[in-house]
Structure 1
Amino acid sequence: MSLEIVQAKIELRELVDAYANLTDEKKIDEQMLLFTSDGRYTVYVGESLLSEVIGTKQLGEDFKSHASEVKRYFSMNGQHVVKVDGATATGVVFSQIKMVRDEDGTEVITDYSVRYDDVYVCQNGTWLIKERTANFIIFDARPLQG
């Protein structure tokens, strides 16, 4: 494995971790800087397509709307497997996401197990997300205890 590929893999891991950190901090405008201007974000729950958004303007609006309904996020990334091919790459990231919402005065926590299938591009020396497909595999909602 070449030094360039090793460096790209490090930078791509930093990219997906920055995405998760900015989600948790609700820094949507900064998060949009991690996408290409024509970035695509697609969400599946099981086999069903839930949404598909293209472009950082629309994506930012969509993320802000969602974030306004969430009191707190907590994300953890697991394995990240990437294949680098010059200035493009594909990757799979497994994540655990917790979201706390208020439902009729009760805090409800939802745990999500998510597989992200990503397409990345390197533009002007910076890796960006061109396509991210979120596959929500397992989710569990319950009143928050404590």
Structure 2
Amino acid sequence: MKKYFLLLVLSSFLTMTYAQKTTEQRLQEIEDRLALKALVDEFSVLADRKDIVNQMLLFTEDAKVESVNNGQAIVLSGKKQIGDAFEGFLSLFEVVYHINGQQTITITGDKATGIAYCSVSLIGVQNGKRMKNDMGVIYNDEYVKIKGKWLIANRKSNFTWRNSQLLSE
């Protein structure tokens, strides 16, 4: 009986603690969620523009990006290596187009994790033919808030499917 009572008291305390969030704390959480969504969207918009310089401002200095495609992983460390790889890859395409979808976020103070879904279209010349590559990607992110601004600390990009088609000239 004592164990049951203790469990009931502990459960009530945890419930009250959550319910006692101040309006300011709740507003901060809403602001953080909106900022994290904007961060993911800004990453995609800058990729579409091939604006690598500004895209790198969205990462921490020691960020890591892991891209997984067909079971093969490439790990990039630091803004310089990430930026060089992004610039080299995006230069292969005339058109880069991201459409972001659902995103889930867990915030713990100045750190957060998130999962975001994205559809990417890449149009470029491959083997002398103009091709369109559509891909589905799931981003598993770790974020950190530095001086009031959310940044990407780690990103694992899982390219889950791909469809290629020849475009007419």
Give the TM-score band, short-chain normalised: over 0.9
Structure 2 partner of 1:57: 80
Shift of 1:145: 4.0
TM-score (norm 1): 0.95
Is residue 38 of structure 1 aligned with residue 62 of structure 2?
Answer: yes
1:4 to 20, 28, 31: 28
Report the counterpart of residue 15 of structure 2 in structure 1: none
Which structure would you say has the larger Rg?
Answer: 2
Cα distance in 2 for partners of 1:86, 1:37 equals: 20
Shift of 1:105: 3.2
Gaps of 5+ in 1: none
Deviation, 1:71, is 1.2
Q: 2:143 aligns with which of 103, 120, 142?
A: 120
Write out the 4+ residue segments of structure 1 that deviate beyond 2 Å after TM superposition. Answer: none
TM-score (norm 2): 0.82
User: 1:13-39, CA deviations, whole angstroms, 9 ceiling, x for partnerless residues?
Assistant: 000000000000000010000000011
Q: Which structure is higher in helix share? A: 2
Q: CA deviation at 1:6?
A: 0.8
Greater per-residue strand proportion = 1
The root-mean-square deviation of aligned C-alpha atoms, in Å, is 1.2
Which amino acid letter does the alignment assign opposite residue 38 of structure 1?
D
How many aligned positions are there?
145
Distance 1:59 1:140 in 2: 25
* Greater relative CO, 1 or 2 (CA 8 Å, sep 6+): 1
Is 1:87 matched with 2:105? no
Residue 80 (structure 2) pairs with residue 67 (structure 1) = no
Q: After superposing the two structures, state which structure 1 stretch, 36-45 or 98-107, moved more.
A: 98-107
Q: Secondary structure at the match of 1:12?
A: helix
Q: Percent identity?
A: 30
Q: Which string of whole-angstrom CA distances, capped at 9 and with x for unpartnered residues, describes residues 22-79 of structure 1?
A: 0000000100000000110001124x23300010011111111101111110100000
Aligned to 1:28: 52
Q: Distance in 1 between matches of 2:160 and 2:168?
A: 24
Deviation, 1:4, is 1.0
